Structures are given as C-alpha cells and as structure tokens.
Amino acid sequence: MIQFHPLSKSIALALSTLLTVTALSGCGSDDDRKTPTTQPDDGHDHDHDEESDVTAELRQGRILITEKDSNKAYVYSLAQNKVIQNLDLTGQADALQTSPSGNYVLVLDRTNQGVNFYHSGLEIEDHGDHDHPYARDVSKMPLQLNYTRPVHYQTYGEQAGLFFDGLGAAGNPIENPAQAAGFALVTDKDIANGKLPYQKLNTNMHGTAEPRGNYVISTGRYDTVGSALADTISVFELHNDHYHLNQTFDTKCQGLHGSGSVTDYSIFACSDGILSVKQAGDAFSAEKIIYPVSLTNSQCTNEDGSSSPARIGSFATNHHHNYLVGTACGQPYRIDPVSKNIAPIVWTTNNSRRVVSYDFDAHGEHLMLLDDAGTLHLLDVTQNYKQVATLNIIPDGIKNYSHGGPSLIVNPNTEMVYVMDSENKQIVKINPDAKKIESKLKLTFAPSQLAWFGVKTAHDDEHHHES
C-alpha cells in the first residue's frame, strides 16, 4: 500500500542537497526557478530538472489565498513566486487554518455553517525501497463538517481543537439553544480518512478546545446570563469517535475568551485572571492566576470610543517555550504557568499604539508584534524582549482592528513570515533572522485570508533553546 508521510531526515537532507545544487546552477532566487511543478503519477522516473522543481516546491510549500468579497481562492507557489492555480470555494471563507501537520488548509465558513478541507498537492510517497516526491494540484477533500459557527481553532503538537459556537435562542438562555456548541479533534490522518471525532456540549457558547493526546480540555456555560462567553472548564476523554466527560473544575472562568497550551499546561483567559490547567499523566488540576495590578487598573478604549476593563483575550505559543504571550487591550504580557507570573512586555514608548496581531517566529527566537500603524516590531526573546528591528509592513496602517489585524503566517520550512496587505494587493515576505522585508509578492486581487500548507520538513533545529 502506498503511504504518504512527512519528509524523513534522510529525505530532507537529500532534498536540501538537491536544492543546493539547483541554487549553485541558477542563483537560487525565486525568479530563477523553473516553472513546471506537477509531476505525473505514471510510475516512471523523471529527469533531474523536473525533480529539482518538485523538490523546490516541497521545500518551500504553498500559500492558499482567498479573494476579498469573493468565493475565489488562489494557490501561490513560493518556489515559483506566482499563482499557479485558481479555485472556486464551496461557500465562503471567513477564516483559513493550517492542519496540525501542515498537509491541509481548513476553510471555515461561519455564514453557511461548514468547514471544508483542501490538500496542498505536495506529498512524499513511500515506494518501498525509496521515497518519491510529488507536486500536484491542490484538491478539495471529501470530508466536510456541517456544525454551527466554527470559530476558535487551537493547535498543539499534531492535534488541533476546532470549536463550534452553536447558536443561541432569543435572549441567549442556557436552556434549549437553537444549536448546541461542540468541538472536533483535528489531525491530518483523520482528515485523510474522512472522519473526525466530535463532541456536542451542553449549550451554545463562544468557547474553545485544547487537545492533549487522548484528552481535550474544553468549555461549558452554566452561570452566564445573556453573554455567549463560556464560564467553566471540563476535561473530556476520547472514546473511539466521540468523547466522555472526565471532570469539570469547580474554579470558574467568567467571561472566558482565548486559550493556549504549552508542555504540561493549558491556559484559559478569564475576565478576572488566567485559569491554568495542569496535566500530570491522566490527572488534571486547575488554579487561578490573578492579573497584575498594571492590567486590572487599565481601561481599554475601543475603536468606537467606548471603554471596557482590560483583560487578556488571546495567546501565542511556540514549542520552544514553556510560557505563553497574551495581549490585553493591545498590550503584550508574558504568562508563565510554572511560576504563576503575568508580566507586561515593554515594546514601545508610544502609549497610543496597540498590538493587533502577534506570534513567534519558527524557532521562537523573536516575538513579532504587528501594531495598528502597520509596523512590525521584532523582539529578541533571549535578550528580555529587546527590540531589534521595526519594519514598515503596511504603510497606511490597519483599520477595523477590533478583532485583530492580518495574521502573521510562519513558514515552518523556510522560517519566512508572510503578512497580507489587502489595500495594496500584495503579501509582504519577512525574514526575521535577517530582520528585514525580503520581498513583496504582488497580486492582481485584494486578498482576505492566507494560510501556508505543504510537507513539513523534519530537521534538526539548530536554533533550539529552552526558556
């Protein structure tokens, strides 16, 4: 039976060597690479040039780009530096998410209540005595999820929790929702097999789900009146294609919004602090970490001029670190569940600026903060978040940033970062190591969403460090 799998270290090394040969013969820039990328599945060997093109495609991966106010999507080849395929999506794309192992993009349609899956077209086939790389067209998978309002998507390792908010009845009572919330566990293997485990929850809610092996830590809503935000955390255990409730914590998390996982901890943001859930084998415990005074004494001024108490509402994580970074009212905080410390990160002297998107680079060496002025701040995490570069990414600034600005798309293979600039119909390519804008990928349409997909390269992490 033919098997598909990520690049092994030996294959990755061979592909790397092959790319080096290609680079030496043609300078290795995006513009110098040859254009054919599709390798026909005819069972025969192919010449060196074709193989080099396929290798370049595999090493860099592709970006799926959706068009603003349209159901059109485009496949951008990073190796060829151009759009190589057009797609008509089923429904609309409210958000794009990359599958945990990178082979697929999930298209979340909150209007028509569905999630569709698209394969990158890039794969390595096991032919027994050798592996064979292929670069085919992107294709839609048969799997489709039709649960109501897919919103939060949380990746941890080779799993992701996809949360569906459901739909409340008039007045949003807990009883008799129009559609109850639920979560699906997402893995690349299960996408390929066409079935994902799903768990229905007690009522509708704006919640989240953190996967942890055979367990998922998810949310419930029992005490909240009027608001759709969750207020309770429970642990669910996987049983074949569904889950059983394992335990519910007494410690409440009112106004729950945002979650993330690192090592032994899953973290949930509440209106009055952080609920930290620790896993020790099959045992789970929870405790509250109170916000620092600097946060609780702050008021957040919203885009419409109204104000609200500051609170953390989202997180960024990286597998190199045992801590998380969250933002409250556009200001970043370092959250350490081990020391139970929440501390502000100093990143600007301009008090009017706020972070609208943020993430770590591929190796976790830089914390990247994109502010509402369209400036990307690179902070060196090994030097106590010393700012090492500011890059003018979106000159006109970011408008309507209440729910975040353009995402920072990190390429796990090349470490490059991509940021959408919809107004100027381009994607800005950033090199965090070189601390510069590498290039600008010009488009003929205004993009609305981006996501990387492809074959993640297995390689030794030269920059690996713990902190």
- Please identify which residue in the block is written with the tokens 């592709």: 62
pLDDT of residue 462: 47
- 191 falls within a domain: yes
- CA 44 to chain CA centroid, nearest Å: 37
- Please identify which residue in the block is written with the tokens 């009017």: 352
Strand partners, 125: 4, 132
- H or E segment and range at residue 273: strand 273-280
What is the extent of the structural domain holding 192? 147-317
Spell out where 222-344 has E strands.
232-239, 242-248, 259-262, 265-270, 273-280, 283-290, 299-301, 307-309, 312-316, 324-328, 331-336, 341-344
- 245 falls within a domain: yes
Q: Are 451 and 97 in contact (CB under 8 A)?
A: yes
Phi, psi of 227, rounded to the nearest 5 degrees:
-85, 145
- Number of structural domains, the chain? 1
- 22 falls within a domain: no
- 401 falls within a domain: no
The overall average pLDDT reported for the chain is: 88
- 311 falls within a domain: yes
Task: Give the residue among 18, 50, 26 at the shortest CA–CA distance from 36.
Answer: 50
The residues, ordered by sequence, that sit 6+ positions from 193 with a Cβ below 8 Å of its Cβ are: none
Q: What's the whole-model pTM score?
A: 0.88
pLDDT tens by residue, 159-209: 999 999 999 999 999 999 999 999 999 999 999 999 999 999 999 999 999
pLDDT tens by residue, 41-84: 444 444 445 558 999 999 999 999 999 999 999 999 999 999 99
pLDDT of residue 353: 93
- 157 falls within a domain: yes
- 189 falls within a domain: yes
- 204 falls within a domain: yes
pLDDT tens by residue, 221-269: 999 888 999 999 999 999 988 899 999 999 999 999 999 999 999 999 9
pLDDT of 366 > 80? The answer is yes
Strand partners, 209: 218
